Structure 1
């Protein structure tokens, strides 16, 4: 991940910070909690709708919800601005978080939110990671009853080792 290069390159730092946010999203969407954990420093703090606490407390809170109530999620990151301040940074990533589950008409598990991840990132132990995160929910809409079946056969996403990404990762090592 982040080996220190002195003097560090600001563009490399920005890219490493962006990668932290994207790995977090992949971890949530694919149920790879090690990726979510790795996005934070061990003493990192998270503030989500309905939750405030340490990264370990966050994992204990979010994973059962993802596994029990949701069939899937998809986090899409758009605008992402990183302001560097030495070994600290402010990262603001705009995104859309799509959630779906059963029953399909339940608006509490079938919704899309506009989010901003406002992160205090720090460079410690040779890597950038989240020190404190505010997952700001800007808006939410219900998608209850709006999902339709795929129109034919083809690749489908899963949240286990059968997902095309995980199979490719396994094949390439």
Structure 2
């Protein structure tokens, strides 16, 4: 049996892993964080976790990138179930840079009903509550200078660094 502190840390890691999986377009990683009977309620979407992942697969390619940033995080534990509320902001950018539907930042709260399934915390039901939205159309500046750049599907600096850990498969 895990401690309350361990459960809270695992739940926060789950929320962070979700954000990373969306930002890196790791759809299998997104699905793995939901319970078998998981449900998601997002702006523009309402349905099962499998349907949500299919929706993301159609929606995310329209964007050049996303970046989710997390803030306040509160967890109420009740045995093998919990409710978590996590505040955040998500930046979205796409081409053309002056298109408001592709270039915006939103403030949100994830309200998650979680369940311990097969020994790990999973999202049984998520409400992605949009608190506000701001257009960033025409404000994105191109990257300048040399240096590391974000990548997806195994070519991000994270993948390279993790691949160098002992007993891990290499990305290079």
In structure 2, C-alpha distance between the alignment counterparts of 1:34 and 1:113, rounded to whole Å: 24
CA deviation map 1:6-25 (0-9, x unaligned): 2x300000000111101100
**What CA deviation, in whole Å up to 9, does each residue of 1:4-52 have, x standing for no partner?**
xx2x300000000111101100100001112211111111000000111
Q: Alignment partner for residue 6 of structure 2, among 12, 20, 39?
A: 12
Partner of 1:119: 112
Instruction: Identify the match of residue 164 of structure 2 among 160, 167, 171.
Output: 171
Give the drift of 1:170.
2.6
Q: Note the 1:78-89 alignment, pairs <5 A.
A: 78-89=71-82
In structure 2, C-alpha distance between the alignment counterparts of 1:30 and 1:169, rounded to whole Å: 15
RMSD: 1.0
1:149 corresponding residue in structure 2: 142
| Structure 1 residue aligned with 2:68 | 75
User: Structure 1 residue 50 and structure 2 residue 38: aligned?
Assistant: no
Q: What is the DSSP-based 3-state SS (H/G/I as helix, E as strand, rest coil) of the residue aligned with 1:146?
A: coil
The Cα of 1:160 is off from its aligned counterpart by 2.5
TM-score w.r.t. length of structure 1: 0.93
Q: Which residue of 1 aligns with 2:102?
A: 109
**1:118-146 residue CA offsets vs partner (Å, 9 max, x unmatched):** 00011121111100000000000000000
TM-score (norm 2): 0.93
Instruction: Tell me how far apart the structure 1 counterparts of residues 58 and 158 of structure 2 sit (CA, whole Å).
Output: 23
Q: Could you tell me which residue of structure 1 aligns to residue 33 of structure 2?
A: 39
SS of corresponding position for 1:115: strand
Q: How many residues align?
A: 166
Cα distance between partner residues in 2 of 1:151 and 1:97: 23
Counterpart in 2 of 1:100? 93
2:128 is matched with which residue: 129, 132, 135?
135
Segments of structure 2 that go 5 or more residues without pairing to the other structure are none
Could you list the structure 1 runs, at least 4 aligned residues long, displaced by more than 3 angstroms after superposition.
none
Question: Post-superposition shift, 1:151?
Answer: 3.0
